Amino acid sequence: LILSAWNPAEIDQMALPPCHMFMQFYVSEDKKLSCQLYQRSADIFLGVPFNIASYALLTHLIADVWNLEVGDFVHTLGDAHIYNNHFEQINLQLTRNPYPLPQLKLLNTYDNIEDYRFEDIEIVNYQSHPTIKGEVAV
């Protein structure tokens, strides 16, 4: 399955061209679904963490609909950047030790990905440091 958010005919109607724009989902011989995301422009502080979480969730949902195990998430960044107004936040982030990864639990299984609701998703053993705020830079 290949998904593309790149539509040149509509670029002039968009606030920005799509940053996370090309996804390939691949099923291995051992029935694992992997996702590779190509991101042409990557805001390391504000955008990339959200993109990782959202495409990992999407991979889990598609795997669940297709009755597959979850494989790898591969994230390829084109223009990876840290904006000048995010250096203080990045330096704070680098002082923090990561917590163990949480687990994603899907409480229901559906035949259609559009049937999933927020209530169908549980994040188990999630720990986080206090929020680090940052202004969106364009």
* Range with lowest mean pLDDT among 3-17, 18-32, 57-71, 118-132: 3-17
Three-state SS for the chain is CEEECCCHHHHHHCCCCCCEEEEEEEECCCCEEEEEEEEEEEECCCHHHHHHHHHHHHHHHHHHHCCCEEEEEEEEEEEEECCHHHHHHHHHHHCCCCCCCCEEEECCCCCCHHHCCHHHEEEECCCCCCCCCCCCCC
Is 39 inside any structural domain?
A: yes
Annotated catalytic residue, options 19, 57, 90, 132 = 19
- This prediction has a pTM of 0.91
Is 133 inside any structural domain?
A: no
Is 82 inside any structural domain?
A: yes
What is the total count of domains within the chain? 1
pLDDT tens track for 58-105: 999 999 999 999 999 999 999 999 999 999 999 999 999 999 999 999
Is 138 inside any structural domain?
A: no
CATH of the domain at 94: 3.30.572.10
Is 67 inside any structural domain?
A: yes
pLDDT band at 137 (very low <50, low <70, confident <90, very high): confident
Is 47 inside any structural domain?
A: yes
Is 46 inside any structural domain?
A: yes
Query: Has 35 been annotated as catalytic?
Result: no
Please state the rounded mean pLDDT for residues 29-57: 96
Is 4 inside any structural domain?
A: no
Asked if residue 11 has pLDDT above 90, the reply is no
User: Mean pLDDT across the chain, nearest whole number?
Assistant: 95
Range of the domain at 21: 16-124
Provide the pLDDT for residue 40: 95
